[in-house]
Chain A
Amino acid sequence: MAYSFPEEVLEYVLSFIKTDKDRNAVSLVCKSWYEIERWCRRRVFIGNCYAVNPRIMIRRFPEIRSVEIKGKPHFADFNLVPEGWGGYFHPWVVAMARAYPMLEEIRLKRMVVSDDCLEMIAKSFKNFRVLVMSSCEGFSTDGLACIAANCRNLRELDLRESEVEDLSGHWLSHFPDTCTSLESLNIACLGSEVCFSALERLVSRCPNLRKLQLNRTVPLEKLPNLLIRAPELVEFGTGAYSAELRPELLSNLVNAFAGCKKLKALSGFWDVVPAYIPAIYPVCCGLTSLNLSYANIQSPDIIKLVSQCQNLQRLWVLDYIEDSGLDVLATCCKKLEELRVFPSDPYDVEPNVSLTEQGLVSVSEGCPKLQSVLYFCRRMSNAALFTIAKNSPNLIRFRLCIIEARAPDYLTYEPLDAGFGAIVENCRELRRLSLSGFLTDRVFEYIGKHAKKLEMLSIAFAGQGDLGLHHVLSGCDSLRKLEIRDCPFGDKALLANAAKLETMRSLWMSSCPVSYGACKLLGQKLRRVNVEVIDERGTPESRPDSCHIEKLYIYRTLSGPRVDTPDFIWTMDEEGNTPQ
Chain B
Amino acid sequence: MSLPLQEHDYIGLSEVSPKGNSDINERSISKGLNLKATELRLGLPGSESPEREDVNLYGLNSLVSSGAKRVFSDTLNGGSEVDLVKNGGLFSPRSAEKVVEKKPQSSAAKAQVVGWPPIRSFRKNTMAISPPKNDNNADAKSGSSCIYVKVSMDGAPYLRKIDLTMYDSYSELSLGLKKMFSCFTIGQCGSHVIPARDKQSEGLLMDFLSGSEFVLTYEDKDGDWMLVGDVPWDMFIETCKRIRIMKSSDAVGLAPKGIEKCRDGN
Contacts and interface: CB of A to CB of B under 8 A. Distances in A.
Interface of A: 75, 77-80, 82-84, 135, 161, 163, 189, 270-271, 293-294, 296, 298, 320, 342-350, 352, 376, 401, 403-406, 408, 413-415, 434, 438, 460-461, 464-465, 485-486, 488, 490, 510-513, 536-539, 542-543, 547-548, 550, 566-567
Contacts of B193: 537-539, 542
Contacts of B10: 408, 413, 415, 438
Main secondary structure of the interface of A (DSSP, over half): loop
28 contacts: A78-B120, A79-B148, A83-B158, A83-B159, A84-B158, A163-B121, A343-B119, A344-B133, A348-B141, A349-B86, A349-B87, A349-B109, A352-B137, A401-B117, A405-B70, A405-B72, A406-B68, A413-B14, A438-B10, A438-B68, A464-B65, A464-B67, A488-B64, A511-B72, A513-B57, A536-B183, A537-B183, A538-B195
Interface string B102-135: 0000000110111111111111001100101110
Contact of B116 (A163, A460, A536, A537): A460
B35 interface: no
A270 B126 CA distance: 9
B144 A348 contact: yes
Contacts of A270: 126, 130
B183 A538 contact: yes
Contacts of B84: 404-405
B144 A344 contact: no
Contacts of A79: 76, 114-115, 121, 148, 161
Given A296-B132, A348-B144, A406-B68, A75 B119 contact: no
A543 B10 CA distance: 35
B196 interface: yes
A404 B113 CA distance: 11
Main secondary structure of the interface of B (DSSP, over half): loop
Contacts, number: 164
Contacts of A352: 132, 134, 136-137, 141
A408 to B, nearest CB: 6
A548 B57 contact: yes
B152 to A, nearest CB: 9
Interface in B172-195: 183, 187, 191, 193, 195
Given A345-B132, A349-B101, A401 B118 contact: yes
Contact of A82 (B72, B76, B127, B133): B76
B114 A80 contact: yes
A566 to B, nearest CB: 6
Contacts of B134: 345, 352
A465 B116 CA distance: 21
Given A349-B85, A405-B70, A548-B58, A82 B122 contact: no
A566 B157 contact: yes
Given A346-B145, A550-B73, 9 more contacts: A78-B115, A293-B123, A320-B133, A347-B145, A350-B98, A460-B116, A511-B74, A539-B193, A542-B191
Interface residues of B, number: 64
Given A82-B160, A404-B84, A405-B84, A346 B57 contact: no
Contacts of B195: 537-538, 543
A80 B158 contact: no
Interface in B235-259: none
Nearest to A77: B120
B150 interface: yes
B203 to A, nearest CB: 18
Contacts of A547: 58
Nearest to B165: A347
A565 B112 CA distance: 29
B33 interface: no
B187 A77 contact: no
B112 to A, nearest CB: 6
Contacts of A513: 57-58, 60-61
A432 B133 CA distance: 32
A408 B68 contact: yes
Top 3 nearest A-B pairs (CB, nearest first) are A84-B158, A78-B115, A511-B73
Contacts of A413: 10-11, 13-14
Contacts of B196: 537
Contacts of A293: 123
Interface in B68-82: 68, 70, 72-74, 76
